[in-house]
Each structure stands twice: as structure tokens, then as C-alpha cells.
Homo-oligomer: A and B are copies of this chain.
Amino acid sequence: MVRTMSNRTCTIALPYYSGAGHTAQIATAIADGATAQGATSHIIDIEKISASDWASLDRADAILFGTPTYMGSVAAAYAAFLEEAGGRWMDQIWADKVAGGFTVATFGSGDKLGALQRLSIFAAQMGMIWTGPNDIGAPVFPAEPGINADGGWLGLMGSSVSTPRGAVRPGDLETGRRFGARVAKLCMRMSD
């Protein structure tokens, strides 16, 4: 078997909604982490989504879904985006793509798991392959300050409680970059 890594590519789409700006910053951090591994990233603000963005989503190797957690689930604007994307269900256009999720709330729990569960069930209906960020977390490994500080594994969780208005914790951004790198590597591993 002869093969070089350069044959392997990955395009990651990151459709996100951001109310106060936190989720947008984490989307950028994830994209940075993916790009550093050689992937191509398309960040898509679902409030301004265009036909070209939908085409990017359909072509992507991986889609990472990002939304604040509002009242225990995804933002309503994001629910509308998911429902529109659900129009691709019957033809399974997104099947076999890699999927993952990221979400932000004020609190450490903030019922963010509810939003991530909702995203993972949606992804399963679409036939996608789900991956979390896979960092055990700083409370267990203090040598990694701020990494996965809230303790979430189904997807990336960020919190705004201890930050100045609109700011994201540095550890959440670093967790995002690692998540992007992980998805890029998984995606390349699958791209043959």
C-alpha cells in the first residue's frame, strides 16, 4: 500500500447562531484548530445563510453545529435552521458526514447537555457520524487549565458566567481549537 497524507483532505462547515457573540468566537476557534491540521473551514452564520452556504453544507465532509443553549435546548433560530436542513432527510444528502456540536450558556451545566442531545439525535436522523471533543477535562487533569472546564463530552460546552460581557474563557477557546483538530484528523482518516 502506497499512500501519502497529502491525498487526504477535509472540508468542515460550521453553521452557528450566536446571540451575544460567545458561540461565534468558539466557532472561529474550532475552525482555527481544523485549519491548522490542513482542513478547509467554512463558518456560516445561520441568520445570513445563503444558497451558496447550503451548497457548502451539502459538500462538506464534516458539519459542526453551534448554538447557545436557551431554555434547555438550541436557540429557536437554530431550531428553524435544523428543520430546514431536515428537508434533506429523505434523500440522506448529509449521510456519512462527520458531525459534532458546540454550545454556550451562562452556567456550567445550564442544561447544555439538552442542546447537545438534540443536535446528536438530529445528526443520527441525518445519518451522520457523531464525535465529541474528547478532552477529559481540567478538573481531572489540573495540568490542563481551562480545558473542558464544565465537563461535557457529547459536545463542546462553554460558559459565560465568569467572563466580562461578551468574552469567552481562554480555556473554552483552546478546547475549541483542540476540537477542530480532532474533527479534522477524524475526517481525513475517513476521506478515501
Contact = CB atoms under 8 A, between A and B. Distances in A.
A29 interface: no
Interface of A: 1-5, 7, 70-76, 79-80, 82-83, 86, 89-90, 92, 95-96, 105-114, 117-118, 120-122, 124-125, 127, 129-132, 134, 136-137, 139-140, 149-155, 157, 159, 161, 186, 189-190, 192
Given A73-B118, A109-B151, 14 more contacts: A3-B192, A71-B83, A71-B125, A72-B124, A72-B125, A73-B79, A73-B122, A79-B79, A89-B136, A96-B186, A107-B152, A113-B114, A124-B130, A129-B130
Given A129-B186, A190-B189, A107 B151 contact: yes
A87 to B, nearest CB: 10
B150 A108 contact: yes
Nearest to A185: B96
27 contacts: A1-B2, A1-B4, A2-B3, A70-B86, A71-B122, A72-B122, A73-B73, A73-B79, A75-B83, A76-B76, A79-B79, A92-B134, A92-B136, A96-B186, A106-B151, A107-B139, A107-B151, A108-B159, A111-B153, A111-B154, A112-B113, A114-B117, A114-B118, A124-B154, A124-B155, A127-B134, A139-B161
A134 B70 CA distance: 17
A113 B109 CA distance: 8
